[in-house]
C-alpha cells in the first residue's frame, strides 16, 4: 500500500507525507485550495505553482509552501511525487506517486470539461487510482456548458430589461471565477462581487487568468441603483442583510446540485444553473477506465454505485472513507424527485 488512509489523512509511509491531510502534519501535499483539502496547521506544504496565490490567500502569509510546476518531479524520501492538472479550479492537481515500480494517483477533485480559468485535466496512467465520486450517480450528466452560460446571459438580460439585479450564488473559489469567465462577452450591465469573491478574483487575475471587470459591491455608495447588474456572491450570503442593498433582484444558484429540482427549491432561488467543477457520471467512469488502473479506491461522494459499476466490469474497486466532504455539500436527491432535463 503506497498510500493508505490514517486518522490524519491519506498517508504515504515510504515518503513520509500526507495528501490533503485533515489533521496538521509535518509534510502535506495539497491537491487544491478548497477548504476541505487545504487545511491550516501543517509545517510544510507542497502544491502547484499555478494555484500558489489562491492557496496563500487560504493558508496565510506565514505558511511554508513549496510550489512545483505541473509534471515537475519532487523527491520526498526517495519517493517520486509529481502534480498534474485536475481541471477542477485554478491550480488543482492530481498527485502522482511513484515508488519501487508502482504508480498511484490521487485525483483530488477533478473535471474533464474545458474551463478557461485553469489548466485542462491531464490523464495520468497508473496502477492504482484514488478517485473522488462527488456526483457518482447515473442521474448526474452535465449539459454542454455553452448552453448553460447562454441561459445565464438570457436570464440576466431579461432581469436587466425589467430593471432588476441578477444575483448568482457561486462558491467564492473556482465557481465564481468560472461564472465570470462564462459571461465575459455578455455586455449586459456592470458586474459586482461580494468581498470574498473579489479577493479570490484578484488572485486569479494576478495568476494571469483573464476575467471581466468587477467591482466590490460594498464599495458602492448607499442608495446606488443595482438594476441591470450581475452580482456574484457566496451561497452563505443568501437570506442575509448584505443583499438588501440590491433592491429588486432575482437570485440564482450555480452548482451541479441544481440538477435536482428539490435542491433549487430548498435554496429558495428563482433559477438553478447546472454548472459543476466535478466530473459527471459518464466522465467519471470513462476517466477511471482510461487511467488503466487495476485497482481503484473511491472516496467522498456517492461511492457505492461507482464501486459496484467497476466491480461488474472486473476492475478491483473499494470504497475508502475520507474527510473530504467537498466544497459543495452533498445534497442527495429525495425519493421521486424530479431531475432537471
The residues that touch Zn ion, with contacts defined as CB under 5 A, are 34, 109, 327
Whether the CB-CB separation of 50 and 72 falls below 8 Å is answered with no
Q: In the complex with Zn ion, which residue's Cβ is closer, 250 or 259?
A: 259
Q: In the complex with Zn ion, which residue's Cβ is closer, 20 or 198?
A: 20
**∠ Cα 150 153 158 (to 5°):** 125
Q: Shortest gap between Cβ of 114 and Zn ion (angstroms)?
A: 18
Count the neighbouring beta carbons within 10 Å of the beta carbon of residue 127.
Answer: 16
**∠ Cα 138 141 144 (to 5°):** 170
Residues 6+ apart with CB under 8 A from 308: none
Q: Shortest gap between Cβ of 31 and Zn ion (angstroms)?
A: 8
Q: In the complex with Zn ion, which residue's Cβ is closer, 35 or 114?
A: 35
Q: In the complex with Zn ion, which residue's Cβ is closer, 90 or 274?
A: 90
Q: In the complex with Zn ion, which residue's Cβ is closer, 27 or 34?
A: 34
Count the neighbouring beta carbons within 10 Å of the beta carbon of residue 122.
Answer: 17
Q: Shortest gap between Cβ of 299 and Zn ion (angstroms)?
A: 12
Give the alpha-carbon dihedral of 191, 196, 202, 206, to 10 degrees: -150
Q: In the complex with Zn ion, which residue's Cβ is closer, 34 or 194?
A: 34
Q: Shortest gap between Cβ of 261 and Zn ion (angstroms)?
A: 24
**Nine cell digits for residue 2:** 503506497
Q: In the complex with Zn ion, which residue's Cβ is closer, 99 or 277?
A: 277
Q: Which of 156, 139, 133 is nearest to 322 (CA)?
A: 133
Q: Shortest gap between Cβ of 210 and Zn ion (angstroms)?
A: 22
Place of cell 474545458: 114
Query: CA-to-CA distance for 217 and 28, rounded, in angstroms?
Result: 36
Q: Shortest gap between Cβ of 80 and Zn ion (angstroms)?
A: 25
Q: Shortest gap between Cβ of 327 and Zn ion (angstroms)?
A: 5
Query: CA-to-CA distance for 131 and 97, rounded, in angstroms?
Result: 14
Q: In the complex with Zn ion, which residue's Cβ is closer, 37 or 99?
A: 37
Instruction: Give buried/exposed letters for 80-112 (b at 16+ CB in 10 A, else e).
Output: ebbbbbbbbbbbbbbbbbbbeeebbbbbbbbbb
Q: Shortest gap between Cβ of 34 and Zn ion (angstroms)?
A: 4
Count the neighbouring beta carbons within 10 Å of the beta carbon of residue 50.
Answer: 25
- Tell me phi and psi for residue 235, to 5 degrees: -55, -25
Amino acid at each position: 500500500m503506497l498510500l493508505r488512509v490514517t486518522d490524519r489523512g491519506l498517508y504515504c509511509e515510504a515518503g513520509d507525507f500526507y495528501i490533503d491531510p485533515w489533521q496538521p502534519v509535518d509534510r502535506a501535499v495539497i491537491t487544491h485550495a478548497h477548504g476541505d483539502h487545504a487545511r491550516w496547521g501543517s509545517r510544510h506544504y507542497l502544491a502547484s505553482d499555478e494555484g500558489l496565490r489562491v492557496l496563500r490567500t487560504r493558508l496565510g502569509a506565514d505558511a511554508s509552501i513549496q510550489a512545483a510546476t505541473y509534471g515537475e518531479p519532487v523527491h520526498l524520501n526517495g519517493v517520486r511525487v509529481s502534480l498534474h492538472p485536475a481541471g477542477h479550479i485554478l491550480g488543482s492537481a492530481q498527485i502522482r506517486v511513484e515508488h519501487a515500480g508502482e504508480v498511484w494517483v490521487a485525483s483530488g477533485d477533478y473535471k474533464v470539461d474545458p474551463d478557461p480559468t485553469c489548466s485542462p485535466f491531464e490523464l495520468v496512467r497508473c496502477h492504482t487510482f484514488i478517485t473522488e465520486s462527488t456526483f457518482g450517480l447515473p442521474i448526474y450528466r452535465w449539459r454542454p456548458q455553452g448552453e448553460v452560460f447562454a441561459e445565464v446571459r438570457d436570464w440576466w438580460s431579461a432581469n436587466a430589461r425589467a430593471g432588476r439585479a441578477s444575483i448568482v450564488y457561486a462558491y467564492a473559489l473556482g465557481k465564481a471565477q468560472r461564472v465570470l469567465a462564462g459571461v465575459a462577452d455578455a455586455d449586459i450591465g456592470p458586474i459586482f462581487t461580494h468581498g470574498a469573491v473579489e479577493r479570490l478574483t484578484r488572485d486569479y487575475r494576478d495568476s494571469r487568468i483573464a476575467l471581466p471587470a468587477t467591482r466590490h459591491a460594498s464599495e458602492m455608495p448607499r442608495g446606488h441603483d443595482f438594476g441591470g447588474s450581475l452580482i456574484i456572491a457566496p451561497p452563505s450570503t443568501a437570506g442575509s442583510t448584505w443583499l438588501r442593498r440590491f433592491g429588486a433582484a432575482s437570485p440564482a444558484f450555480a452548482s451541479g446540485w441544481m440538477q435536482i429540482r428539490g435542491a433549487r427549491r430548498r435554496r429558495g432561488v428563482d433559477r438553478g444553473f447546472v454548472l459543476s467543477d466535478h466530473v459527471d457520471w459518464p466522465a467519471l467512469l470513462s476517466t477511471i477506465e482510461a487511467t488503466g488502473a487495476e485497482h481503484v479506491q473511491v472516496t467522498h461522494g456517492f461511492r457505492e454505485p461507482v464501486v459496484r459499476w467497476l466491480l461488474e466490469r472486473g476492475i478491483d474497486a473499494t470504497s475508502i472513507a475520507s474527510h473530504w466532504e467537498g466544497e459543495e455539500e452533498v445534497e442527495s436527491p429525495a425519493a421521486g424527485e424530479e431531475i432537471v432535463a
